[in-house]
Amino acid sequence: MAELALGDLSGGPVLVFGGPYSNLAATRAMRAKAQALDIPPERTICTGDLVAYCAEPAETVDLIRDWGIAVVMGNCEESLAFDSSDCGCGFDEGSACSVLSVTWYRYATALINESQRRWMADLPREISFHYSGFDFKVIHASVASINQFVFESDSVADKQKQIKQAQADVVIGGHSGIPFGQKTGGQSWLNSGVIGMPANDGSSDVWYMLLEKINNGFTASWHRLVYDHEQSQSTTEAAGMREYAKALGDGLWPSLDVLPQTERGQQGVRLQPQALTMLRP
């Protein structure tokens, strides 16, 4: 399935999150938060990478499937579905991220079953919807690539080009793991952040995004999700992913290979909740 069209979601808030990363405790906490906010599965979207660094890949996939939310295919789903030799994350060969990915990908590959792989293979690569007068396009990484890292400090001109290519007013991307929102004239690029791993800010909390309708547009806001990270630390450590288990607690990524210089300099700096408002012309 190339694209999933959800139609008009303006009937209430929309919850967006990314990267469950095999973190079952965080995914359970995210579902509980959605229920507490009274946001149904029909207005909940995941930007992909259900499976990655933590220790409960099959259980996390099953929870997401049972939840019944819309999910974009991430590079990890693509790799697992089509039995690729690696995670397809876009890491430079020989980098610390690339080396560390070998362990978790081998671990996940052994636990994901054929039914789950078939489900992953059928996931859409794009999700479109309309919200409060704006056309949205949700992709995993970038419009051009399933594994291109897009950060706030990256080229605004390139983001504008990709938004135009997407034929949307707002693009929501994932993959990079750090939440941000950036206006580009009358358009915007949003990243919800991820729930499976902290945002490299020295806190064990993870992040999600809410879209809320206002009189003449919408507001996107980013929120911390506090969950039982010690539970995920324990299982991830036991599974042999020690570097990622440590990151779940101290909130610092084990490698900065993928980060531009600006984001590298922000490691350990506690992120603050933010909001971005878009008004119709």
The predicted-structure confidence for 3-46, as pLDDT tens digits, reads as follows 999 999 999 999 999 999 999 999 999 999 999 999 999 999 99
**Longest CA pairwise span in the chain (Å):** 54
Q: Which tens digit of pLDDT belongs to each residue from 60-73? A: 999 999 999 999 99
Is pTM, for the whole model, over 0.85? Answer: yes
Residue 183, φ and ψ in degrees, nearest 5: -80, 140
State the pLDDT confidence band at 94, using cuts at 50, 70 and 90: low
- Ordered by start, the domain boundaries in the chain are 3-279
Q: Pick from 74, 201, 203, 235: which is nearest to 146 by CA?
A: 74
Contact (CB, 8 A) for 123 and 146? no
Residue 118: both structure tokens together = 């078939």
Residue 34: both structure tokens together = 């959605």
3-279 CATH pick, 3.50.50.60, 3.90.79.10, 3.60.21.10, 3.40.50.300: 3.60.21.10
